[in-house]
Structure 1
Amino acid sequence: MADQTRSRLSHQEVWQRWKENKDADARNTLIELYLPLVDYVSSRMAAGLPKNVTKDDLVSNGSMGLIDAIEKFDYRRGLQFETYASWRIRGAIIDGLRQGDWVPRSVRDKAKKMEDAYAVLEQKLLRSASDDEICAYLNISEKDFQQMLQEVAVAAVFSLEDPIRDEESETRLTLLVDDKAINPESKVHETYLKDSLKIGIEKLTAKERIVVSLFYYEDLSLSEIAEVMSLSPSRISQLHSKAILRLRGALSKHREQLLYNG
């Protein structure tokens, strides 16, 4: 306990030297201290990405996010830096992936078709749409449906990281995970968005809800979730993809309502 207290005090001193004195050595110490966080976040994200995306690329982009977090973090507020930095690191990695445009246009189009199918059917049925119902709506076979799920799985990795509105940086996932992330100026929009997320989550199947909970709340990787649920990683990936498509469908309806009411 005493060691932990001394460690916290020493970290506080380093933050103070950096923020108040702009001590470059203190800044470098902080980067070295929290660099393992970049490796951790990169490893989790790499699990669901194509093989052509290397972990080194993720670490490189994530390191820029860590540096940005160290530059902007206010240690005097008493917040936990690891939580703040994780979001910055993840955001920097996602920005790098977007700039690389590694998801083909055809895959994005398929994801949008499936998202729209879930939105339309679940609004009509007022329950979760089954795989058979989605197949019938899209006029495709079960085999083609499974293939589409495999293809859009990579696009679902950061689908909840998209901005709520094009001109803003706040994402859907910040609302799903952290209530403190609310921007007072758009609180009304975000209240409706949370309601949409709640409805969307309620429409997920039991297994999909478990995957979402373990991935976004318990911070487990898809491989770890596979072990917990005694399912194959590919099956977990499919469940994650379907859950995200359902949630995006619910959120797309929310966006339409905002535009209509605006």
Structure 2
Amino acid sequence: MYTPQGKVTQSEVLAQYAPLVRRLALQLVAKLPASVDLDDLIQAGMIGLLDAAGRYKEDQGAQFETYASQRIRGAMLDELRSNDWLPRSLRKTSREVEQAVHEVEQQVGRAPSETEIAAHMQMPLTDYQGMLQDLHGSQLIYYEDFDRGGDDEPFLDRYCVDHSDPLSALLDDNLRSALIEAIDRLPEREKLLMSLYYERGLNLREIGAVMEVSESRVCQLHSQAVSRLRARLREQSWTAAPTN
């Protein structure tokens, strides 16, 4: 096994770069639900680190830490993909919110407010906002959205030419255009939040400072924005015939 310092043992690699693995794991887990275990990510990252040390060659033109960081992040993402880290109960809650957003939007002809959605779901606003808080870490697209064999009927069929390759579907121009349109229809506050989070890479605390709201409120607004986007993509697949 080789690193920039020459031939070393696995123990030496783990000891020297363990802080890097932990730092990358903390950066990732900060954007995920509380159900994600930090130690599991660190363990996966350590495996990625050892893989990087075994594959690294000095003539690759990259510093070892840069090369290793990519391998470590990849191993952590593989760990997340291999585990259903958003509990099934929260997936069900997420679908209920999406359905409510869709139905209220059809009634009022615009992006509904949280109060309107809560009323439609027959619950107090505070309970609805607590639900959004619980959904922090929900994703815009899951692998199951392309899975014809799953319990739930997939709603991205319109965009997916090859269902065996979700990545190709995500890169498809039709899906990108639909997503851009859905983002443009978000309320201005949620549109700003998504821009700060995904384009500028600010964390929730930093976004809260910019928007002058609490970090927990940012979590709620982010979950609401994701629900709106998923509802919009679902609506388009409901109302349009699949493309060939």
TM-score by length of 2: 0.67
Give the gaps of 5 or more residues in structure 2: 149-155, 157-164
Asked if the contact 1:208–1:239 (Cα under 8 Å) also holds between the matched residues in 2, the reply is yes
1:251 equivalent to 2:237? Answer no
1:216 equivalent to 2:202? Answer no
Match of 2:41 among 58, 71, 81: 58
Asked if the contact 2:35–2:86 (Cα under 8 Å) also holds between the matched residues in 1, the reply is no
Q: What percentage of aligned pairs have identical amino acids? A: 29
Looking at structure 2, the residues matched to 66 and 129 of structure 1 have their Cα atoms a distance apart, in angstroms, of 46
Query: In the TM superposition, what whole-angstrom CA distance separates every residue of 1:197-231 from its partner, at most 9, and x where no partner exists?
Result: 11221122222222222222222222232233332
Change (3 A) 1:76 1:46: closer
Deviation at 1:189, TM superposition (A): 7.3
Which residue of 2 is the match for residue 134 of structure 1? Answer: 117
Looking at structure 2, the residues matched to 90 and 200 of structure 1 have their Cα atoms a distance apart, in angstroms, of 30
Asked if the contact 2:44–2:72 (Cα under 8 Å) also holds between the matched residues in 1, the reply is no
Which residue of 2 is the match for residue 162 of structure 1? Answer: 142
One-letter code of the match for 1:207? R
Looking at structure 2, the residues matched to 122 and 73 of structure 1 have their Cα atoms a distance apart, in angstroms, of 53
Looking at structure 2, the residues matched to 238 and 161 of structure 1 have their Cα atoms a distance apart, in angstroms, of 18
SS class of match (1:244):
helix
1:143 equivalent to 2:116? Answer no
Which residue of 1 is the match for residue 217 of structure 2? Answer: 235
Which residue of 1 is the match for residue 101 of structure 2? Answer: 118
One-letter code of the match for 1:128? A
SS class of match (1:237):
helix
Looking at structure 2, the residues matched to 43 and 229 of structure 1 have their Cα atoms a distance apart, in angstroms, of 24
Asked if the contact 1:115–1:246 (Cα under 8 Å) also holds between the matched residues in 2, the reply is yes
One-letter code of the match for 1:160? L
Give the gaps of 5 or more residues in structure 1: 1-12, 16-22, 173-182
Superposed, 1:3-14 pairs within 5 Å as none
RMSD of the TM alignment (CA)?
4.3
Which residue of 2 is the match for residue 226 of structure 1? Answer: 208
1:190 equivalent to 2:176? Answer no
SS class of match (2:202):
coil
Looking at structure 2, the residues matched to 62 and 86 of structure 1 have their Cα atoms a distance apart, in angstroms, of 5
Change (3 A) 1:43 1:194: same
Query: In the TM superposition, what whole-angstrom CA distance separates every residue of 1:15-34 from its partner, at most 9, and x where no partner exists?
Result: 9xxxxxxx975999998887
Deviation at 1:62, TM superposition (A): 3.3
Change (3 A) 1:86 1:25: closer
Asked if the contact 2:132–2:220 (Cα under 8 Å) also holds between the matched residues in 1, the reply is yes
Query: In the TM superposition, what whole-angstrom CA distance separates every residue of 1:137-178 from its partner, at most 9, and x where no partner exists?
Result: 323221321221122224x1xx136236339xxxx9xxxxxx
Looking at structure 2, the residues matched to 44 and 114 of structure 1 have their Cα atoms a distance apart, in angstroms, of 28
Deviation at 1:60, TM superposition (A): 1.6
Which residue of 2 is the match for residue 207 of structure 1? Answer: 189
One-letter code of the match for 1:197? L
Asked if the contact 1:68–1:88 (Cα under 8 Å) also holds between the matched residues in 2, the reply is no
Deviation at 1:188, TM superposition (A): 9.6
Looking at structure 2, the residues matched to 256 and 77 of structure 1 have their Cα atoms a distance apart, in angstroms, of 49
Looking at structure 1, the residues matched to 38 and 10 of structure 2 have their Cα atoms a distance apart, in angstroms, of 25
Q: After alignment, is 115-124 or 142-151 more displaced? A: 115-124
Looking at structure 1, the residues matched to 110 and 241 of structure 2 have their Cα atoms a distance apart, in angstroms, of 25
Looking at structure 1, the residues matched to 30 and 221 of structure 2 have their Cα atoms a distance apart, in angstroms, of 15
Deviation at 1:54, TM superposition (A): 3.8
